[in-house]
Amino acid sequence: MSLDPATVRRIAKLARIRLDDEEVPRLEGELNAILGYVEQLSEVNVDGVQPLSGGAQMAMRLREDAVTDGNYPEKILANAPDRIGNFFAVPKVVE
């Protein structure tokens, strides 16, 4: 499938994109490249692959909802500019 300049102008109008006449050939080439890539995708063998309409059908793996400190405060605070014990130290901003 190949687009002509009139079709490119119509697509631009539908998308409410203002195009100058010198921009049409560039956009025509870009859109034709995209359509060529989509045509390449139709050559992929998808026999036996179930269609997926979204990630909502997938079950999430659950883990225990537990609060932890990560168990490695030294690694977490290694790059802190300033610290007090196992906490980040920040300058006072409210009087």
pLDDT in tens, 20-63: 999 999 999 999 999 999 999 989 998 988 877 776 767 778 88
Q: Full-prediction pTM beyond 0.85? A: no
Q: Count CB neighbours of 23 within 10 A.
A: 13
Residue 33 to residues 17, 18, 28, 84, 87: CA-CA distances in angstroms? 19, 21, 9, 57, 54
Residue type at 16 in one-letter notation = R
Collapsed DSSP state (helix, strand, coil) of residue 10: helix
Please provide residue 90's backbone torsions phi and psi, each rounded to the nearest 5 degrees: -125, 155
- In this prediction, residue 55 carries a pLDDT of 66
